[in-house]
Amino acid sequence: MDEGTKRHHRGPVRPVLQTNAHVIRGAVRADIHLSDGRVLPAQLVGTAPQFDLAVLRVDLDGTSAQPLENGNSADLRVGQSVLAIGNPFGLDWTLTTGIVSALDRDIPIGNGVIEGLIQTDAAINPGNSGGPLLDSSGRLIGVNTAIFSPSGASSGIGFAVPVDLVKRVVPQLIATGVYRPPVLGIRFDPRIDTLARRNGIEGAVILSVDRGGPADVAGLRPAERSPNGGIVPGDVIQRVDGRRITSGTDLGAILDRYEPGDRITLTVWRDGETREVAAQLAAP
């Protein structure tokens, strides 16, 4: 499996590695090539195709592996320096550098769309998939996943799955082999949450509500457009069962702790006042 790159996690028994789901799609076997020349077989633990993530497990034959330190993608800023490591065109251990070009990009993949990606101009080519995107301190901030290029080679537009999402998905893949978070039935945007915080409103700003979904049944209200094109907040979720929410990213991470069918109590900001709203989570 030499067309992608993997990243070590230290697991409780055998190390696990995260890569892209498209790297191992259709593979009949997976081999891990180590820097000391060893080639070890790996087993598939689970995949989350909707985020292009997969987890493999490998027996290192008694040796240890040093995992990368996780960063926080929520702290990223446009213009920040980044480094990408991969195996472009079969050239092992290749390091390229660049900056964060944009945040919260959406790209189509398969029959869906991956949201909230990091865009970078660090050279990413075929073979970089699944490799780490690092900050200048060497901390993981994303998993390289795709490029935009008519020629198939790097054109300075690459995308990475943000590490905050990876930290939500990978533990579930390790535990169960699948990622099936419960659904509240709302849409949010971290950029809008940031703007709201600057105006003194903290939480996950509800931008839309799925008709017939849990939020709709609970009576939650989405934001509206003002006549001048701005956004007028409707409901802003600030707590889930007492746990503080500062953004939609926090909300997603907390909902991962629940199962479909669970009942939760939301603390919601509406029209300058807070109120509690009960909701029942649904299956995806």
Residue 220 forms part of a structural domain: yes
The residue behind tokens 């799925």 is 210
pLDDT number for residue 2:
37
pLDDT number for residue 20:
95
pLDDT number for residue 106:
84
Torsion of CA 23, 25, 29, 35, to 10 degrees: 10
φ, ψ of residue 28 in degrees (nearest 5): -95, -20
The CATH number of the domain where 50 resides is what? 2.40.10.10
Amino acid at 250: D
Which residue range(s) make up the domain with 96?
Answer: 73-169
CA 142, CA 2: separation in Å to the nearest integer? 20
pLDDT number for residue 206:
97
Count the Cβ atoms, other than its own, within 10 Å of residue 244: 12
pLDDT number for residue 152:
63
Q: Are residues 195 and 240 in the same domain?
A: yes
- CA end-to-end distance (rounded Å), the chain: 31
Structure tokens at 121: 């101009």
pLDDT number for residue 173:
94
CA 117, CA 123: separation in Å to the nearest integer? 16
Q: Are residues 144 and 219 in the same domain?
A: no
pLDDT number for residue 212:
96
- What is the domain count for the chain? 3
Residue 160 forms part of a structural domain: yes
The CATH number of the domain where 243 resides is what? 2.30.42.10
Residue 176 forms part of a structural domain: no
Report whether 128 contacts 5 (CB < 8 A): yes
Question: Active-site residues: which are they?
Answer: 22, 52, 129
CB within 8 Å of 26: residues ≥ 6 apart: none
pLDDT number for residue 111:
63
pLDDT number for residue 41:
93
Q: Which of 109, 24, 9 is nearest to 60 (CA)?
A: 9
Burial 73-108 (b: 16+ CB within 10 A, else e): bbebeeebebbbbbbbeeeeebebebebbebebeee
Q: Are residues 145 and 206 in the same domain?
A: no
3-state secondary structure of 176: helix
Residue 242 forms part of a structural domain: yes
Report whether 16 contacts 28 (CB < 8 A): no
Q: How, if at all, do strands 53-58 and 16-19 pair?
A: antiparallel
Residue 177 forms part of a structural domain: no
pLDDT number for residue 1:
38
Grouped pLDDT means (10 residues each) for the chain, 284 residues: 46 74 92 86 93 93 83 93 94 94 86 84 92 96 89 80 92 91 91 90 96 97 89 94 91 85 97 96 91
Residue 64 forms part of a structural domain: no
pTM above 0.75, yes or no: no
